[in-house]
Structure 1
Amino acid sequence: MTLRIRRALLSVSDKTDLIPFARALAEMGVELISTGGTSAALRNEGLAVKDVSELTGFPEMLDGRVKTLHPKVHGGLLAVRGNAEHDAQAAAHGIAPIDLVVVNLYPFEATVAKGAGYDDCIENIDIGGPALIRGAAKNHAGVTVVVEPADYARVLEEMRAHGGATTLELRKALAAKAYARTAAYDSAISNWFAATLGEETPAWRTFGGRLKYPLRYGENPHQRAAFYASGDARPGVASAVQHQGKELSYNNLNDTDAAYELVAELGTGKPAVAIIKHANPCGVATGATLQEAYLKALRCDPVSAFGGIVALNGPIDAAAAEEITKIFTEVVIAPAATPEAVAIFAAKKNLRLLTAGALPDPKAQGAIVRSLAGGLLVQSRDDGVITAADLKVVTKRKPTESELADMLFAFKVAKHVKSNAIVYAKAGATVGIGAGQMSRIDSARIAALKAADAAQAMGAKEPPTRGSVVASDAFFPFADGLLAAAEAGATAVIQPGGSMRDDEVIAAADEKGLAMVFTGIRHFRH
C-alpha cells in the first residue's frame, strides 16, 4: 500500500544533505515543518518552512528541551489513517497528519567519545527525537520515518516512482531501522551512566552497534556475518583506513584485532612486530627498527607466518614493507605507513593494508561480550599490566637484568596467547609459543618442539630455547611443565604463582638452577 507524503517534520542535528533533500520534498509539494537550527538552515536556503511553535501554538521552551512534545505533533503522527474515530478526534482538536518524520538524534555517542564532561553529556541526551522516531515507527502503516541521511535518496526514489508516495515495504524497513537506532542510542546512554556510577553489574545491560559492512560469511562459509561498530573510540580495526586489497573477512578482522592489541601491549619504546595466525601469535619481537623486529618475529615460526596477520607499533617504512612482502601476508596493520611503504604494498594485490592512526591503550577499561545460549557473558577487558616492581623472586637465584627484560616481554605476549599458554623468549623475541592446549605441559613441549623445528629449518646448531626465559599465563599446577621448560633450555621462569603445589614447583626450579618470579596475576584467554 502506498501513501502520499503531504507534510514532513524535519529536525536533525546532522545536516548532511539536508538542503537538497528538503528542496526535493518541496518541489513535490510537501509542506515542511521544522525546529530550531534545522528550520533556520532551511529558511536560509530560501525554502518555505513552518516552525513547530507555529503548529503547536507554544514556543520552544527550556533551552529547546521542549518543542515537539505536544499533542498536535504526536497526534499527527499516531492517528491511524482511515480510522473514523481517530479522524474525528483529530479534526475536533485541529490536528493534521504528519506523513514523514526526519530526525537524527543529538550526538550523545560522539560527545562521550571525545571525553566531554558530565553536564555536556547530559545535555546531549535527546528526548523529543526518540519520541518522534518511536511514534512514527509504530504508526509506519501511515508514516515514513528516516533516522539518517543515507536513506534520503531511497525515500525520494520511491516518492518519484509512486507519485509522491512511499510503499509499505519501505516504511516497514525504515521503522525497523528506527527502533534499532533508538535502542542503540539508549544502550550508549545506559552504559555511560553505569560507568559514571561505577556499576560493574547493572540490573539491565544492552549493547548496540552500527553496521560497518556485511561480510561474505563468518568463520566458515555456511555462517552469516557482519561487522558492527560499537562507537568505542579505541583505535583498531573499526577505526582503521583500508588502503588496498579485497574486503576483510570475519577471520581477518578477528585476527587483525588480536594482532593489534598484542603489539600495543609492547608500547612505543622500541619498534615491535607481532605476527598472528588464527588469533594466536606465531612470532613477536622488538628490534632497533621495524625491519629488524619483523625478521626476529618471523624466525620464531616462519611456517605458520605464511598467510598471517602482521601488526606493527609504528609507522611502516619502506625497509619493513620490503621484508613483509617477501612472503604471502593477509593483512598488515599499523598506526601509519610512509608513501614509499604504501607503494610497495600496492604491488601485492591480495594484501590488505590498514592504518589505525594510533595504538590502543592496554590499560584502558572496556567490556568484552560473548553470547551464550540464553544470555550474554560480560567481563571487563584484561587491562592488567605488570612491571618489574610487581614481581616477586621466589627462587634462590635471582634473574639477571637481561632475563628480567625478556620475562616481562614474554609475559606480555603470553597475555595474548590462548590458554594454556607457554611462551619462550630470548633477546626481545619469542622463540617458541605453545597455545590452547588442554594441559600446560603439552604447551611447554609443543612450544619447544616448534622452536626446534624452526632452528633445524634455518640450519641452527641448537634450538633457540637454549638460554631463553619462559612465561606461563597461569600457574604451573605441577612441576612437570616447568621441568619440560628447563629441559628445553630455559633459564628463568615468569608465572602468576598461586598453586597449591607452588613449593614443589619452586623446589624444582631451585634444583635446576632456574630463576623464577611470581606476578600475582594470571592472563587466561579462552
Structure 2
Amino acid sequence: MKKRALISVSDKQNIVEFAQGLVELDYEIVSTGGTLKALQNASIPAVSIDQVTGFPEILDGRLKTLHPKVHGGLLGKRSNPNHLEQMEANEIGPIDIVVVNLYPFKQTLVSEGVTREDIIENIDIGGPTMLRSAAKNFEDVIVVVDPGDYNAILEGLKTTTINLDFRQKLAAKVFRHTANYDAIIANYFLSQTGEKFPETYTVTYEKVQTLRYGENPHQEAAFYKNPVQNGMSLATAKQLHGKELSYNNIQDANAAVEILAEYDLPTAVAVKHMNPCGVGMGESIADAFQLAFDADAVSIFGGIVALNREVDSDTAEKLSEIFLEIVIAPSFSEKALEILTRKKNIRLLTMEMAQKDESFKLTTVDGGVLIQTKDIASVSKGDLEVVTERAPSEEELENLLFAWKAVKHVKSNAIVLAKNNQTIGVGAGQMNRVGAARIAIEQAGDKVVGSVLASDAFFPMPDTVEEAIKAGVTAIIQPGGSKGDQDSIDVCNEHGIAMVYTRMRHFKH
C-alpha cells in the first residue's frame, strides 16, 4: 500500500515543490479546497479529502476534515495490533504525513477594514485538530507545520526513515504553533469582552533573534515580539546601520522610547541603564539634543539617544562627536545618514515615536508573573492643585510639567530637577527621597538656582523640600497624600516657594 500524505495549507510557499518531492517518493497526496486546486494546477496527482471520507465538504468549508477516516488514520498506533484491527474493520487507512498550516487569523486581525465576520471565519478548527492528532502520534506520523522544514524532511525520506528525535522536534513545533495560534485568538476575545485579569492569562511571543548574551556574558538571552502589534514598537523598528542590538541595548532603547512618548515638541532623550541622564526640548531637534547632551555630558557617553523628529545634518554632526550605542528617530536625512554611518559601531534605528503603548506590563517573579496596566497616565495644567500661598508662574508651570514627565520614568525613589525645558539633575533609584534629591542637586551644580523639582512620590517629611530650598529651587511638583504634607507646605510658604500636587504617583521599581 502506498504511503499517504495529507496536505492542507493556507501558506502555500514551496508546497508544490514539496508535494512533487513526496510524489517522487511514491506517496499518495490527499488534499483539500484551495490547496487541492493549487496542486492539481501544477499537475501533481492529488485526491480530494471527500474521496477519503466519503463525506462532502459542507458549511462553506467549515467542515471537511473532522471525520473518523481522517483522525483514525492519524491517531492509530501502528505498533498496536488492536488499533490496526479496528482501523481495518472501519476501512480507515493510515496517514503517514500531515502538512498543515493554519488560516491566517493573525494577519486578518491586523488588516485594515477587517470585519468581525472576517476575523471569526479565520479561526481554523480542522487544521489545529489534525495537527494535534498527528503530533500526538508523532512516532508514526510525520507532522509538518513550517515550510522551512520541507527540505530537511524530503532529504530524510530519501536517505532513510525520519528518526524519532526529528519526529519529536516536529511535534514539539506543532504544539508551540497551535498554542501561539490559540493564544492570539484567546486574547482577541479577551479584548472583545473587556476582561483585564481573567482566571488564566495566556501570552505568546514570536522570536525576533537570539542575542549574544543577556545582561551579562554568562547569561543566555533571546528577543521576542508581540505577534499582534498595536502600531510601531522597538520590536518592529528598522535598523539602518550597525551591529545587532544586545539585551541591554534593547532594555535601554525601550526606556528611551517610552520617555520620548511623553513629549510632543521637538525633544531628545539620552538614556543610561534605563534611566534618563538628559532630556531636552527645543525649537529644533538639534537644539533639543544639545540640551539633552548638556544636561549630563558625562553620563551620555556610551548611552542611547532617542529623538522625536527627523535627524538632520546639524543634529547628526552633534551626535557624531560623542560615542553613542544607539540613535533612534522617526527618520534620518540623507546627509545625516552619511555623517553617522561613518561611525562603524553606532546603531541607527527608525520608528514612529508619538505613541503610548496601552498593553500590559509583565514582570516575572520566581514561580509566577505580576501583571499590571502600563503607566500611561498623565496630567495637564488643569489637573494641578496649588497647595502653597504662592502659585507657580507660567514659566515654572511649563518646567514643572516637563520635569513631571521625566521623573515618571526614573527609578524610584526619584527626583528630577529641570530648568528651561532641560533636565539638569536626576536622582534615581535611591533608598530614601532626600538622598535622591541630594544627588540631583549635586549634579545640577550652579544651574540649580531658579530650577524646579519633581518627585515621583510624596514627601513623608519636609527634609527633601528643605534641601531643595537651600539649593535654590523655586517650585515643586509632587503627588501629595502624606500624613506629613502640611509640614512640607509650611516650609514652602515660609520661603515663598510654590508647590503643586498631581494626586498621582509614579513609582517605578
Q: TM-score, normalised by structure 1?
A: 0.92
Corresponding residue of 2:144: 146
Q: Distance in 2 between matches of 1:312 and 1:17?
A: 42
1:164-208 CA distances to partner (integer Å, 9 max, x unpaired)? x32222111111111112112222222222222121220011211
Contact 1:113 / 1:231 at 8 angstroms: preserved in 2?
Answer: no
Q: Please tell me whether residue 408 in structure 1 is matched to residue 401 in structure 2.
A: yes
Structure 2 residue corresponding to 1:286, chosen from 276, 281, 290:
281
Give the conservation status (yes or no) of the 8 Å contact 2:280–2:289.
yes
Contact persistence 1:5–1:99 (CA under 8 A): no
1:347 aligned to 2:342? yes
Match of 2:466 among 483, 490, 495: 483
**Partner SS for 1:153:** helix
Tell me: CA distance 1:500–1:109, structure 2 relative to 1, closer, same or farther (3 Å). farther
Verify the 8 A CA contact 2:313 2:335 in the aligned structure 1: yes
**Structure 2 residue aligned with 1:396, among 389, 400, 421?**
389
In the alignment, the residues of structure 2 paired with residue 481 and residue 153 of structure 1 have an alpha-carbon distance, to the nearest angstrom, of 67
Work out which of the residue numbers 186, 190, 193 in structure 2 matches 1:194.
190
Give the 3 Å change call, closer, same or farther, for CA 484–340 of structure 1 in structure 2. Answer: same
Give SS of 1:410's match.
helix
Please report how far the alpha carbon of residue 27 of structure 1 lies from its aligned counterpart in structure 2 after TM superposition. 3.1
Q: Which residue number in structure 2 is paired with residue 426 of structure 1?
A: 419
| Structure 2 residue matching 1:398: 3-state secondary structure | coil
Matched, 1:317 2:300: no
Match of 2:206 in 1: 210
Q: Quick one: distance in 2 between partners of 1:231 and 1:482?
A: 47
Over 3 Å counting, the alpha-carbon distance change for 1:120 and 1:502 in structure 2 is farther
Give, as a single letter, the amino acid of the residue that structure 1 aligns with 2:137. Answer: N
Distance apart, 1:341 and its partner CA: 2.4
Instruction: Letter of the 1:152 partner, please give it.
Output: Y
Within the alignment, does 1:14 sit opposite 2:14 as a pair?
Answer: no
The residue number in structure 2 matching 1:520 is 503
In structure 2, the residue matched to 1:252 is: 249
Q: Distance in 2 between matches of 1:22 and 1:241?
A: 36
Q: Could you tell me which residue of structure 1 aligns to residue 327 of structure 2?
A: 332
- RMSD of aligned residue pairs (Cα, Å): 1.9
Q: Find the counterpart in structure 2 of residue 303 from structure 1.
A: 298
Which residue matches 2:125?
Answer: 127
Aligned residue pairs: how many?
Answer: 507
- Distance in 2 between residues matched to 1:156 and 1:412, nearest whole Å: 58
Quickly say closer, same or farther: Cα 1:387–1:120, change in 2 above 3 A: farther
Query: Aligned-pair distance for 1:136?
Result: 1.3
AA aligned opposite 1:204: T
Q: Does residue 1:27 correspond to 2:24, yes or no?
A: yes
Alpha-carbon distance in 1 for matches of 2:354, 2:154:
41
Aligned residue identity for 1:62: L
For 2:103 and 2:162, locate their aligned partners in 1 and report how far apart those are by CA, in whole Å: 27
Deviation at 1:7, TM superposition (A): 2.1
Partner of 1:445: 438
C-alpha contact (below 8 Å) 1:77/1:97 kept by paired residues: yes
Tell me, yes or no, if structure 1 residue 361 matches structure 2 residue 358. no
Answer yes or no: is the 8 Å Cα contact 2:266–2:282 preserved in 1: yes
The aligned residue for residue 511 of structure 1 is 494
**What is the deviation of 1:330?**
0.9
Gaps of 5+ in 2: none
Residues 8 and 31, structure 2, Cα contact 8 Å, conserved in 1: yes
Matches within 5 A, 1:162-173: 162=160, 165-173=161-169
In structure 2, relative to structure 1, the CA distance for the partners of 1:340 and 1:168 (3 Å cut) is farther
Q: Per-residue deviation at 1:121?
A: 2.6
* Residue 385, structure 1, aligned to residue 378, structure 2: yes
Which of 209, 213, 219 is the aligned partner of 2:215?
A: 219
| Amino acid of the structure 1 residue aligned with 2:147 | P
Residue by residue, what CA displacement relative to the aligned partner does 1:35-71 show, whole Å, maximum 9, x if unpaired? 2222222222222222212221122221221111111
Query: Bigger shift: 487-496 or 249-258?
Result: 487-496
Q: What code does the residue aligned with 1:210 have? A: E
Whole-Å separation in 2 of the counterparts to 1:133 and 1:8: 13
Secondary structure of 2:441's counterpart equals helix
How far apart are the structure 1 equivalents of 2:173 and 2:135? 9
* Correspondent of 2:91 among 81, 89, 94: 94
Whether contact under 8 Å (1:61, 1:67) holds in the other structure is: yes
CA distance in 1, matches of 2:467, 2:173: 57
The answer to whether the 8 Å contact 2:279/2:292 transfers is yes
- Deviation for aligned residue 1:480: 1.0
Deviation, structure 1 residue 28: 2.9
- 3-state SS of paired residue (1:242): strand
d(CA) in 2 for partners of 1:410, 1:391? 14
* Letter aligned with residue 516 of structure 1: M
Percent of pairs with identical residues: 49
Structure-2 residue corresponding to 1:374: 367
C-alpha displacement of 1:365: 2.1
Contact 1:12 1:102 in 2 (8 A): yes
Moved more, 327-336 or 19-28: 19-28
Any idea what SS the aligned residue of 2:467 has?
A: helix
For the residues of structure 2 that align with 1:104 and 1:483, how far apart are their CA atoms?
Answer: 66
Q: Equivalents in 2 of 1:130, 1:256: separation in Å?
A: 37
Q: 2:308–2:354: 8 Å Cα contact kept in structure 1?
A: no
TM-score normalised by the chain length of structure 2: 0.95
Distance in 2 of aligned mates of 1:246 and 1:511: 56
How far has the Cα of 1:117 moved from its partner?
A: 4.3
Secondary structure class of the residue paired with 2:398:
helix
What displacement does 1:120 show? 3.1
Distance in 1 (alpha carbons) for counterparts of 2:318 and 2:140: 61
After the TM superposition, which of the residue ranges 113-122 and 338-347 deviates more from structure 2?
A: 113-122
> Aligned-pair distance for 1:360?
5.7
Cα separation, 2, equivalents of 1:153 and 1:331: 38
